[in-house]
Structure formats: C-alpha cells, structure tokens
Amino acid sequence: MSTAVDVFGPLFLSYRQNDGSEIVAELAWLLRAAGIPVWRDKDDLPPGDTANRLSEAIDGGLSGATFVITEDIVNSAIVRSIEAPKLIDLHRDDPRFQLLIANDIAKDTGSPDYTAPDRLLGRVKDDLKGVDQSATSAEELLALTQKALTHRMVQHRAAVEANGVFELTIQTRNVGQVYDRTGAQLDIRVRRSNHEKLPDSAGLEDLRRTLGLLPDAITSTGARKVRVGGGAHLSVAFALGIALPSSRIGQLEVIDQRSDVWASGPEAAVPTPPTLHFDVTEHPTVPGDRPRVAVYVDLLSTQSDAAFERYLDERGETLNAHGVIRSPQRGLLDPANAGAVASEVAGLIRQLSGAHSNASVDLLLAVPFGLAVLIGRLSNTLRVRLFEWDDTDNPADNSVDVRPRYVACLEARAGSPAGPITSVSLQSCTG
C-alpha cells in the first residue's frame, strides 16, 4: 500500500482556478464545517515551485481527493500531469483512499456528463468511469460532503473502538488552513468572521447545512464517549450540544483551553432545593404568534447586565416572561460541577418555557464555552433563538444607545429533520 495515504489526513481538492474557484470555495467550507480537513492550493500551498510543492503535499499524506471538473480544466497542465496521475494511483492502490468527483459538465438533458472527467483530464483508460460523481449544485455538493464524511468514519472506526472515545474539535475563529487540524476524528471549522465579536453569517449557514450529519457520523464509529475540544462562539457551542443529545451520545466531555474537563450529566433536572437563583418577571400577555420567553444565563465571574438590559428595552414587548439565572456566589465555576450546573440550567429553561405553553426561548448566554455545549445537549423539546454579545460600534445603528447589545444569530431545535440549526438570523456584517 502507498505510504501517502493517511486516514487522519486532509481531503485534497483538485481543480482549475479559472472556472472552478467558486465551486471549490463552497465545497471546501462545507467539508470543513462537517469536520473534514481540506487541502486547497489557495489556502495551503507554501512558497516555492508549484509543481514541487503540490507533489510534496500529495505525498505528505492524504485521506482522499475530489476532482472538481469544469470546462477549463482541460487547460491545466498541473492537474493533468501532476495531480491526476498521483491521485488516481492512490485511489487504485489503496482502498482507504477516497476519490470523488464534483462534475460541472452537463449533457443536453441536464444530467452530468460522466465521460467528461476522463476526457478533460486526458485519461485514455477510463480511469474515472467508476468513480462516484456528483453535480455541483448546492444539494449535490452537500451530498458529496456526506459521502466524504461517511467514508472517513469507516476509516476511523478501528481507532475509536480501541478506546471508545470519539475526538472532536471545533473552532469558529481560526483561519481555514490544512495545518489547523489536531488528529481528531473530526475538526469542525467555519469561516472566520471579519467582525470583532460576531461569527460569520455564511459560516453559520455552512454549519446549518452540515451539523445534522454529525450524530450519525459519530454513532457509526461505535463511540461510547465524545470528547470535544477547541472553542467557539457560544451560539455555535450550544448548537453543537444539541447535535450531541444524551439520548444518542452516552457520555460527553468538553476539554477547554486550560485543559479543564466539563463532563455532562444525563438529563435536565432542577434539584430540590435549587442551587441556582432564577428570578422570573412576567410580562403582559402578547397576542398573536407562538409565546416567547427570554432567559439570561449569567454564570461568569464578573457581572455585566448592560447588554441584557438593552435587549429588554428593545424586545421586552414581544415576550411573555423573562428569567435570569445566576449562582448565589459569583466567581469561577468549578468544571467538576459542570454536569449538575448544566442539568439545572436546562431544567430551569424548560420550566419557564413550559409555564408559557411551551414558548420559544430567546437564550442569552454568559457562560464558559464548555457549559454552553453541555446545556445545549440537554435542551431537547425546546425551540431556541441564540444571541451573541457585541460591544463594537454598529454603523447601521442610528440610535444614541452606546450600550453593548445581544445580536440574534441562529435558531435551533433538537430533533429537527433538517438538523439542529433551523435557521440563521445573523445578517452579513463586516466589522
């Protein structure tokens, strides 16, 4: 077998920049959002002779590759003479190496021209005739991503079975490069925002499309425990937790940036007596749509309510009630108590929603990353709109209010057929 195959390595994207860049950009971010590291020349090609650097990248260890077939690829000497021969040989010699094709060439009938890859790449022996081909529509690129994810999990099953642990990392603030991978089963990466505090709206949309693939991917490996590392905006952390419910993933622990372990409890429950303070304010009945309540979870060491107060000033009339969850003693949370704290928080949120006819919940989190994941994991049955804290100047805000604000980013619901993120609320922003 070839030594250039590494089941923990990236998926190589081979394409022609002239007419394939837009397709590859969409595909690359879908793959990254699904947790699959990607090698793409625009992001990962180091300085030096292009042909040599490409050969080194391919020989350095890949899990698979995707040819993005466009009309102008016929004019790419690099793809035809360097990438295609090496990648096809890896596919032929080692069954662990996955080769896929995103085919942008269509017949008059509109269906993909399955003969185009061999013809345009100058393959005289029909090397690619039996390779799995997808079209390049948004739906087909997502289907290709799912195929890549399924294959990767098959290759990782033995490693997971060895100790029962599925390793997963997530980052929403890193640059999308092949070097940002950890050796985990999946490294979820989304587009980095130009905004100082808020996530990227297109990155959230990528995650909306792919996060629903995660539970089946994990369970297919036979994992008994999921270990999450990295860091992310709290709305994303919560959504990740929803994708890893206790009903499907037996054990979950989050390793934070200080290497502290935040381990989940089994279910949402409010102890008797409660250990957290939950102050609820009822609002006049709001006619019309589904009832809505808001919950502000403030468990950081320093209290700062200005953004929440602004939220109430701007949105209070749309609420049936709001509640504030705090610890009796302010200070750093002990990660050893994370499971019990997350269980109680989730129980209190469900309690307020249930008291108002299963109201939708606006959730404003001021908690550590690990706790956000664990609360999300226990939030089944809830419809949640998640917000991010922002204290940057907003040119679109014509008011004189200089207080920080909470910005709606995404909506999530456990058990949704389309995945845990049901919609992205955040509008595109540049800083």
Q: Residue 395: its pLDDT value, please?
A: 62
Q: Residue 27: its pLDDT value, please?
A: 98
Q: Which of 103, 124, 150 is the last residue of a domain?
A: 150
Beta-carbon contacts of residue 62 (< 8 Å; ≥ 6 apart): 4, 5, 6, 9, 10, 11, 12, 39, 90, 97
pTM: 0.94
The DSSP letter of residue 7 is T
Average pLDDT of the segment spanning 302-321 = 95
Q: Which of 101, 123, 150 is the last residue of a domain?
A: 150
Q: Report CA 225 to chain centroid distance, whole Å.
A: 19
- Contact present, 199 and 426 (Cβ < 8 Å): yes
Q: Residue 397: its pLDDT value, please?
A: 64
pLDDT digits (tens, 9 = 90+) for 9-67: 999 999 999 999 999 999 999 999 999 999 998 777 766 666 777 787 788 899 999 99
Of the chain, the percentage scoring pLDDT greater than 90 comes to: 76
**Would you say residue 362 has pLDDT above 80?**
yes
Beta-carbon contacts of residue 129 (< 8 Å; ≥ 6 apart): 114, 115, 118
Measuring CA to CA, how many Å separate 57 from each of 29, 87, 188, 253, 334? 20, 11, 21, 34, 44
**Would you say residue 1 has pLDDT above 50?**
no
The token pair at 397 is 């805000």
pLDDT digits (tens, 9 = 90+) for 230-255: 999 999 999 999 999 888 888 999 99
**Would you say residue 369 has pLDDT above 60?**
yes
Q: Residue 55: its pLDDT value, please?
A: 80
Give dist(CA 247, CA 415) in Å, integer.
11
At residue 258, what are phi and psi to the nearest 5 degrees? Answer: -100, 10
**Is residue 3 domain-resident?**
no
Q: Residue 53: its pLDDT value, please?
A: 75
- Between strands 383-390 and 405-413, the pairing is antiparallel
Same domain, 192 and 294: no
**Is residue 87 domain-resident?**
yes
**Is residue 2 domain-resident?**
no
Same domain, 90 and 188: no
- Contact present, 381 and 412 (Cβ < 8 Å): no
Average pLDDT of the segment spanning 362-374 = 97
Of the chain, the percentage scoring pLDDT greater than 70 comes to: 96
Same domain, 407 and 324: yes
**Is residue 21 domain-resident?**
yes
Longest dimension (CA), the chain: 75
- Domain CATH number, residue 66: 3.40.50.10140
- Between strands 225-231 and 421-424, the pairing is unpaired
Q: Residue 398: its pLDDT value, please?
A: 66
Give dist(CA 11, CA 40) in Å, integer.
9
Same domain, 330 and 412: yes
pLDDT digits (tens, 9 = 90+) for 148-198: 999 999 999 999 999 999 999 999 998 888 888 999 999 999 999 999 999
Q: Which of 261, 279, 307 is the last residue of a domain?
A: 261
pLDDT digits (tens, 9 = 90+) for 204-232: 999 999 999 999 999 999 999 999 999 99
At residue 391, what are phi and psi to the nearest 5 degrees? Answer: -120, 15
**Is residue 429 domain-resident?**
no
**Is residue 1 domain-resident?**
no
Same domain, 70 and 170: no
| Lowest-confidence segment of 49-63, 123-137, 154-168, 271-285 by average pLDDT | 49-63
- Contact present, 203 and 212 (Cβ < 8 Å): no
What is the DSSP track for 216-279?
HHHHTTT-SEEEEEEE--HHHHHHHHHHS-TTT-SEEEEE-TT--EEE--SS----SS-SSEEE
Give dist(CA 252, CA 263) in Å, integer.
6
Same domain, 333 and 227: no
pLDDT band at 373 (very low <50, low <70, confident <90, very high): very high
Same domain, 276 and 420: yes
- Domain CATH number, residue 361: 3.40.50
Maximum mean pLDDT: which of 105-109, 151-155, 264-268: 151-155
Same domain, 140 and 213: no
**Is residue 352 domain-resident?**
yes
**What residue numbers bound the domain in which 401 lies?**
266-424
Q: Residue 266: its pLDDT value, please?
A: 74
The count of domains in the chain is 3
Beta-carbon contacts of residue 137 (< 8 Å; ≥ 6 apart): none
pLDDT digits (tens, 9 = 90+) for 138-156: 999 999 999 999 999 999 9
Q: Residue 428: its pLDDT value, please?
A: 63
Give the chain's mean pLDDT: 92
Same domain, 174 and 287: no
CB atoms within 10 A of CB 62: 23
pLDDT digits (tens, 9 = 90+) for 316-359: 999 999 999 999 988 889 999 999 999 999 999 999 999 999 99
Same domain, 383 and 280: yes
- Contact present, 367 and 350 (Cβ < 8 Å): no
Same domain, 169 and 133: no
